[in-house]
Structure 1
Amino acid sequence: MSPAALPLGRVAGVPVRLRPSWFLVAGALVLLFGPQVARIFPELGALAYLVALGYAGALLLSVLIHELAHALVAAGLGWPPTAVELTLWGGHTEFMVRGATPGRSVAVAMAGPATNLLAAGAGWLLFELAGLTGVAALLLWAVIVLNLLVGLFNALPGLPLDGGRLVESAVWAATGDQDRGTLAAGWAGRILAILLLVALAIWSAAVPERSLLLVVLAVMMAFVLWQGASAAVRGARLRLARREHRESEDQDGQR
């Protein structure tokens, strides 16, 4: 855990901390959505940017329930969670893995996206039944959309996203080798990063009045995806090389 992380308390005994870098995301969301809120509710004036800060709060809530879902399912499977940390690009949950299997890995990984999708559904139901209007309706809709986006994005099939564990576990189950599964999932993550940039280029060409801030955020997200996927590929290759070296030495010793 980073010593610079801000403690937010404990949930089910698991410490939750916030990296100061998260405030950069909060600021970006305020700058991105503040003008939109002002156009929708011109009577708010400068308070529109305070409402836009609610978008940052909605994103923080979405990421928090996502990570807590990982932690609680891991604990239920005998993998004690040690911390939940909310960061610049989302968050991560640390836990001690014991007796890993493809099925357990998938269960822990997909608990996060599934919880976000359930939260989006519950929010939509509340939106339909409560009949909210004005700023309250806008903020609830932000919670719905952000949970939907966090859930769907993290379910994409490539590391370091949760959906990458599906790819890893499928190859792991087929070959009996987790490292080969990690290697495949890392390459899938690299492909996702490239596809994100291609989609961004197409969108930028089709929408001349696009937000420059949104473009910058998307490029940074693609970079983070590539970095995480590449780290997974390098780690898997290193472990495979070490294992092959040990097996080669064992064979030489038997001769």
Structure 2
Amino acid sequence: MSTNVLAFRRSGFTLLRFKGIPVTLGYTWLILAAMVVAIYAPIVQRSVPGIGTGTSLFVAALFALTLLVSVFLHELGHALVSLRAGIPVRRINLDALGGFTEMDREASRPGTAAAIALAGPAVSAALGVVGLVGLFATELGSLPWQFAFQVCVANLLVAVYNLLPGLPLDGGKALQAGIWAATGDRWTGYRAAGWAGRVVAVATVGAGLWLFAAQWFSWIGLILLLMVSFELWRGASSAIRAARMGPRVKALHAAALARPAVAVPAAATLGEALAEAAGREVVAVDGRPVGVLDRTAAEAVPAEQVAAMPLQGLLRSAERIPALPAALKGQALVDAIGGSGAERFLVLDEGRLTGLLYTSDVVKALR
């Protein structure tokens, strides 16, 4: 998913927090809710004899809210399995296109990836079964029956559609995990599931146009389906691009990408530090790393003051700089960098500082 699309889908407000995870409600969902009420209220009024306009609007609004809860529970299924696997969840986003769960990193094993992917459809299927039970427990055509019917159909459709084998759908994620397990290469899975996702996107457009021509869909329904198809195409294309990046990810190595660094006492002068560094990065230590020399600030020091200038006034704090093992490589390195969100890292070889790794250098290596 591109940065612009991700930012658009994140736009909204925090609805609640579950286990510390912010649940964001997108502004676009409010538009969808209004559309659901406008479409569904007349249907309720026609289907339930004697019901007033106000009551039908209330029922339609309740159905829109039920859809929101259903999507939330679907995404919560992903989030809970992710947390159980030890993968932190950054947020759950709910919007007009459904929702998505944003995790800190990808699963390290295909079985875990498949379990996270299939958890959402499993929750939707369970909710659909609850709605199905409601159909048998209520009077045919009554208001409770109408509500149970919508819950049943909506959730079962979400479960079935999400299981289609194309990225970025959950079924596509499971397909990618299956190919990864069979070949030992996650990138082959991305490529195959990405192309399958493009097929699903095109098929969705075709199905939408056919339903519209058959007068099963309104203009509003068609537009929503086209938006979903467009998002599917973008997600599938992102997966294909990720597959092309696979060889570059495999070639990443923390020790090779790190800029050489030397540890000097925090009490040293700038002149002593530069002499010791011999062009390398300078990390000041006082029992532990306390700061990294700010090269811009150091270069601004007049030449006649370099020898006596205290190093401490020219340091950027190292308190929040994470450490990485020099042997870290490939996807594990990408996951570690993505999970921390830091701009640079101390690279340690058996506990000894050997370099500084900048996130920007890793990004360049992937281009």
In 1: Cα distance, 2:12 partner to 2:175 partner: 32
Tell which deviates more after alignment, 164-173 or 94-103.
Answer: 94-103
Q: Which residues in structure 2 correspond to 1:19-34 (within 5 Å)?
A: 19-34=26-41
Q: Which moved more, 1:107-116 or 1:13-22?
A: 13-22
Q: Deviations over 1:98-156 (max 9, x none)?
A: 76111100000000001110121123224423558732332222222211111111111
Matches within 5 A, 1:100-179: 100-129=108-137, 134-179=142-187
Classify 1:244/1:74 alpha carbon distance in 2 versus 1 (closer, same or farther; 3 Å).
closer
Q: Which amino acid aligns with 2:92?
A: V
Partner of 2:99: 91
Q: Is the 8 Å Cα contact of residues 58 and 142 (structure 1) preserved in structure 2?
A: no
- Alignment of 1:50 onto 2:58: yes
Residue of structure 2 equivalent to 1:233: 240
Paired residue for 1:183? 191
Q: Name the residue aligned to 2:79.
A: 71
Structure 2 vs 1, CA of residues 162 and 24 (structure 1 numbering), >3 Å: closer, same or farther? Answer: same
Deviation at 1:165, TM superposition (A): 1.0
Aligned counterparts of 1:209 and 1:236: Cα–Cα separation in 2: 38
Letter in 1 for 2:179: V
> 1:203 offset after TM fit, Å?
3.0
Give the structure-2-normalised TM-score.
0.61
Q: Deviations over 1:145-171 (max 9, x none)?
A: 211111111111111111111221122
Is the CA contact 2:36–2:60 (under 8 Å) kept in the aligned structure 1?
A: yes
Structure 1 counterpart SS, 2:102: strand
What stretches of structure 2 of length at least 5 have no aligned partner? 1-5, 253-367
Give the Cα separation in 2 of the matches to 1:111 and 1:245. Answer: 32
Please say if 1:242 is aligned against 2:245. Answer: no
Q: Following TM superposition, by how much is the alpha carbon of 1:37 offset from its aligned partner in structure 2, in angstroms? A: 1.6
- The alignment's C-alpha RMSD in Å is 2.5
Higher helix proportion (structure 1 or 2) = 1
Residues 147, 99 of structure 1: alpha-carbon distance in 2 compared, 3 angstrom cutoff? closer
Q: How far 1:199 sits from its partner (Å)? A: 2.0
User: Offset at 1:232?
Assistant: 1.7
**Greater strand proportion:** 2
* Matches for 1:34-45 after TM superposition, within 5 Å: 34-41=41-48, 43-45=50-52
Aligned to 1:250: none
* Structure 2 counterpart of 1:232, one-letter code: A
SS at match of 1:34: helix
How far residue 245 of structure 1 moved from its aligned partner, in angstroms, is 8.0
2 CA distance for matches of 1:245 and 1:13? Answer: 35
Tell me whether 61-70 or 126-135 shows the greater mean CA deviation: 126-135
Q: Using the alignment, how far apart are the partners of 2:138 and 2:43 within structure 1?
A: 24
Q: Which amino acid aligns with 1:154?
A: N
Query: Does structure 2 retain, via aligned residues, the 8 Å contact 1:5–1:19?
Result: yes
Q: Aligned residues, how many?
A: 245
> What is the aligned partner in structure 2 of residue 6 from structure 1?
13
State which of 219, 222, 230 in structure 2 corresponds to 1:223.
Answer: 230
CA pair 98-85 structure 1, distance change in 2 beyond 3 A: closer
How high is the TM-score relative to the length of structure 1? 0.86
Any idea what SS the aligned residue of 1:157 has?
Answer: coil
CA contact 1:62–1:150 (8 Å) conserved in 2: no
**Residue aligning to 2:351:** none
Identify the structure with bigger relative contact order (alpha carbons < 8 Å, sequence gap 6+). Answer: 1
- The structure whose Rg is larger is 2
> Cα 1:123–1:209, aligned 2, differ >3 Å: closer, same or farther?
closer
Q: Tell me if the contact between 2:134 and 2:145 (Cα under 8 Å) persists in the aligned partners.
A: no
Question: Are the equivalent residues in 2 in contact too, given 1:58–1:146 (CA < 8 A)?
Answer: no
% identical equivalent positions: 38
Cα deviation, residue 42, structure 1: 5.5
AA of the residue aligned to 1:11: F
What is aligned with 1:249? none
CA contact (8 A) 1:32 1:213 kept: no
